[in-house]
Each structure stands twice: as C-alpha cells, then as structure tokens.
Amino acid sequence: MQIIPAIDLIGGKCVRLSQGDYSSKKEYHDDPLEMAKRFEGAGITRLHLVDLDGAKAKKIVNADILQRISSGTSLQVDFGGGIQADEEIEKAFALGAKQVTGGSIAVKNAGLFQAWIKKYGSEKIILGADAKDRKIAVGGWEETTTVDLIPFIKDYAAQGISYVICTDVAKDGLLQGPSVDLYQDILKELPGIKLIASGGVSSVKDLEELEKIGVYGTIVGKAYYEGKVTLGEMAAFV
C-alpha cells in the first residue's frame, strides 16, 4: 500500500481543515517545501498537494509552491484544487504535477473531465470521489448531490479512470478512523481500480486495516500533523 502524505495549502502555508470547513483551519507549518522534504527524506515517494485557496478561486493560486516542491524534491505530486479549465490543468502539469485530481469538475462538467482522461490518459488523471452518506459531495463539500457514489465511480471506470481518491466527508480531519466498510464495498464492485482512501486515519492500526482490505494507497494528513502517526511509522509501509 502506498502511503501518501497530504499538504493542504492556504496562504502558502500547510494547514488542515475538519470536514472541509474553512473556519476550522489550523496551521501546522509555514514552509511546505521543508515539509515535503521531510517526507522525501523518510523514503516516501508520493505527495497529495491540495490548493485550498485555488478550490475557492476556481483556479490555481499556490502555483509557486507546486513548482517549488516539484522541482525541489523527487516526490510524485498529485495536485488538486481549482482545476476547472484546460489552461489550469495544462498549468498544473507544466509546474511539475505528475497527476491531477478532479473532483467537482467530474460532476459539474463531465464532458471536460472526460476529455482530460482521453487527452492525458488514466495514469495522469485521478478521479476525486468525495462522498457524504454515499452521495457525491462537491464545491469544497459544501454541496451534497443526489449522485450515488459507487455508480459514479463505475461510470468513470468504464471511461478509463483507474485512480480514485475517495474521501468520506463525515470522517475527514476528525481522527476517528476511516470508512473501511465503504472502501470494501467499492473494491467489491470495482476490484480493478487503484483506490486511494482519504479521511479519518488516526493510527497505524487504521493503516494496517486499510492495507488488509486492499486499497492501493492511503492519504495521511491530520494524523501525521497531530502526532498520531509518525514519519517512521509511515515510512515502514514504503
């Protein structure tokens, strides 16, 4: 299982939110590049970088940080937040992102997202399938749709998507354990996808449980920043 640490950006700093609520923002570090280098130094190879300012602005805001991390480390960066147009996805790749995650765009402009899958291929485009009560949530999770999660993923798998990041909004940032049952159900229906679990990790035990059910990767955010999972423990999975 891949361990994928997360760096969420607001105002150029490493922050975490709880359940996507911007008013719950907590700052952890003012130099994202230094944080990325810590992960790299532990032998971790991937990074989930989210431009929360960009998600609000609907365009990339923290471009300089994406570029600094991409050029200053060997980490494979998957980047998300605010990528809503062709010029934005082109910019993300030009700045060094290895993969781009599309969430709201995959719901609100399916035609454009499908065009990106065709143009860039399944290795470079990740489907961000965020869910609340197994319904797709969009717009920084402020809006829950009537779209059922598993059929949504199935539709995109049929169009070539192989990487899926699934966040259970109810779990995110609360350190109360991940949605293991949800991920098991997704993998039962779609055994061929590379499912990346996100949200709720609170201990190494959670990571071991997710590895056991066969997820491709797990994103670790608040659990690391709050000292619930150490760098050494994350590195042990590499």
Active site residues: 8, 130
CA atoms within 13 A on the CB side of 117: 22
Count CB-CB contacts under 10 A for residue 123: 11
Query: What is the token pair recorded at 159?
Result: 């169009």
Residue type, 115: A
d(CA 70, CA 198): 22
Nearest to 223 by CA among 9, 28, 22, 50: 28
H-helix or E-strand spanning residue 208:
helix 204-213
d(CA 104, CA 81): 9
Cβ-proximal residues to 10 (8 Å cutoff; 6+ apart), any chain: 22, 25, 27, 52, 53
Nearest to 7 by CA among 165, 201, 37: 37
DSSP 8-state class, residue 179: -
> How far is residue 119 CA from its own chain's centroid?
21
Cβ-proximal residues to 191 (8 Å cutoff; 6+ apart), any chain: none
